[in-house]
Chain A
């Protein structure tokens, strides 16, 4: 019976879990293998006798060298970093303030405003990109980082607000009341007592916002036009694919290296990230 149970555990647990992990991670492995594969091996058809999918006999850094030296990849990395950091910072400040007001303060229309912000959270970028492109052009922000630094907060703030609102609600009101009795002003209690306690929540929101900015595509595609202004996702897609010609080596190297900043931030703060993600849907 015990033997049978062990067999069952393999079939019902380890096998499916292994299959999930394998299929979810395989594309990244494929990305990495392609990055170090020399061109001669790369362009071998699938029914070629020497097609060796899972390893390479002659690993090379040529594609990475090519990417870094021959393209504007470094510039794209800096652009993305700057835009993601600035948009995250703006969204955090706005989201923390707004979340606090909606969670803690009594004022007219509080419920209505909360609902309105929740609705904007659900507005996808693809709904508004055409009129926004028009507006960006009008304000002469087109083809500058500001076009993205100012528009990314529109999908980051609602999310940060929503997350922080939930977080502030878990902090006992008594803490502020104590500070008030000791003579602190309303805003002092907020900044010196509540915000420091909310740091884990702020971290979650910040990490999530950063990865979302790094991931954004359509605004960056539409609002930026010159190659040296582009972000990593747009730069890799538009500059490394020429018509029908795909430079697969550099493309995969770009995809791999372009993912690293996000992966690093994520690996340091997995727990906060998961809190942010689950908080973002649960509210």
Chain B
């Protein structure tokens, strides 16, 4: 093919588009679409590491739904996602509103508060694990000094507290993301609207509720849905802090899938546990697509 002919082909928009999209589509097909199909297939077989296995229908799914640890993991995942999302949104919005004011050193504060979000999660979570250590915990020291406790608190070793502790770390990591994203949304709202509302006699709360909140809602929705997906599928934070323990009190879908699929080598069962996340994730994604369409068409 001559160079002239080649560039004539690239004049056609659909040909150019094809070549521009080709590498992306090839990679995504190979490492997302294909693994997904493979995962579905795997979950319908009885494969283990090194053993291809054969088709056994929905037996894996029947098995995991019968498994009390799986049910615990499912409930934990929903609780973990629900609780942390509410706190992340409330605290993130509060922080965004604080940052939306003018004060000295604002750009520094904004840069520094994002650190929990950009520093690799595993590394910052290790610092938390050290702070939660039952024997050396700085929190224990603080509460002891404040005369709140006399004996140690076992932050990660007590089943109820462990869930609260991992949620706290997740909230800590997520708040900056919410705050900065919502701040970007707040900055698009014209101050004129606030002035107009103030002239009409709206107080601070009314101005927030009737002016800021409706205009901020589209950004909020996208941020929340995005964060729900990430939290629902969380792995590394729990893996480092508790590994799913004590007694599966912090077991999530992802940590349990890892434990069964990689830890014990029951590939097909692990794949089935992972895929059990899919319906809930799909629901969120579909809702998000629908919402974006709706906002765009308004």
Please tell me the size bucket of the interface on A.
Answer: 35 or more
**Listed stretches B6-14, B157-165, B207-215; interface member:** B6-14
- Chain B interface size band reads 35 or more
Q: Give which listed residue, B10, B133, B285, contacts A122 with CB less than 8 A.
A: B285
Q: Given the known inter-chain contacts A107-B17, A236-B126, please indicate yes or no for A43 contacting B136, CB distance below 8 A.
A: yes
| Contact across chains for A46 and B136 when beta carbons are under 8 A apart | yes
Q: Is the CB of A283 within 8 A of B131?
A: no
Q: What is the CB-to-nearest-CB distance from B17 to chain A, in angstroms, rounded to a whole number?
A: 4
**Which of B126, B219, B254 has its CB near the most chain A CB atoms (within 10 A)?**
B126
Asked whether, in the complex, the Cβ of B235 is within 8 Å of the Cβ of A13, the reply is no
List residues of chain B with CB within 8 A of the CB of A93. Answer: 23
Q: Which single member of B17, B34, B109, B122 contacts A135 (CB below 8 Å)?
A: B34
Q: What is the bound-complex CA distance between A126 and B281, given in angstroms? A: 12
Assess whether B230 is interfacial by the CB under 8 Å rule. yes
Closest chain B CB from A129 CB (angstroms): 7
Q: How far is the CB of A73 from chain B (nearest CB, A)?
A: 12
Q: Assuming the A-B contacts A101-B16, A187-B10, are A126 and B120 also in contact, with contact meaning beta carbons closer than 8 angstroms in the complex? A: no
Tally inter-chain residue pairs, CB-CB below 8 A: 292
Q: Judge whether A144 is part of the interface by a CB distance below 8 angstroms.
A: no
B126 and A251: CB pair below 8 A? yes
B119/A47 in contact, CB under 8 A: no
Q: Is the CB of A157 within 8 A of B123?
A: no
Residues on B with C-beta less than 8 A from A273 are: 114, 118
Tell me whether B140 and A46 are in contact (CB under 8 A). yes
Neighbouring A residues of B216 by C-beta, 8 Å: none
Q: List chain A residues, Cβ under 8 A from B277.
A: 124, 126-127
Contact with A107, one of B13, B113, B254 (Cβ below 8 angstroms): B13
Which residues between 105 and 161 of chain A lie within 8 Å of chain B, taking CB atoms?
A: 105-108, 110, 113, 115, 117-120, 122-135, 150-151, 153-154, 157-158, 161
Does B196 belong to the interface (CB within 8 Å)?
Answer: no
Question: Is residue B262 contacting chain A, with contact meaning CB distance below 8 A?
Answer: yes
A237 at the interface (CB under 8 A from B): yes
Of A23, A108, A118, A130, the residue contacting B39 (CB under 8 A) is A130
Q: List B residues 112-160 near A (Cβ within 8 Å).
A: 112-124, 126-128, 130-131, 133, 135-138, 140-142, 144, 152
Contact with B along A211-222 (1 / 0, CB 8 A): 100110110011
B32 near A118 with CB under 8 A, answer: no
Residue among A25, A118, A237 making CB contact with B289, cutoff 8 Å: A118
Q: Report if A205 contacts B (CB, 8 A).
A: no
Q: Using a CB–CB distance below 8 Å, which chain B residues touch chain A?
A: 7, 10-11, 13-14, 16-18, 20-21, 23-25, 27-28, 31-32, 34-36, 38-39, 42, 91, 94-95, 98-99, 101, 103, 107, 109-124, 126-128, 130-131, 133, 135-138, 140-142, 144, 152, 172, 175-177, 180-181, 184, 219, 222-223, 226, 229-230, 232-236, 239-240, 253-254, 257-258, 261-262, 267, 270-271, 274-275, 277-278, 281, 284-285, 288-289, 292
Known: A17-B95, A124-B281. 15 other contacts (CB 8 A): A20-B95, A28-B115, A28-B124, A28-B127, A100-B20, A102-B21, A126-B235, A126-B277, A127-B39, A130-B271, A134-B267, A187-B7, A232-B120, A270-B114, A281-B226
A contact set with B: CB distance below 8 Å:
13, 16-17, 20-21, 23-25, 27-28, 30-31, 34, 42-47, 51, 53, 90, 93-95, 97-98, 100-102, 105-108, 110, 113, 115, 117-120, 122-135, 150-151, 153-154, 157-158, 161, 185-187, 211, 214-215, 217-218, 221-222, 232-234, 236-237, 246, 248, 251-252, 254-256, 258-259, 262-263, 266-267, 270, 273-274, 277-278, 281-283
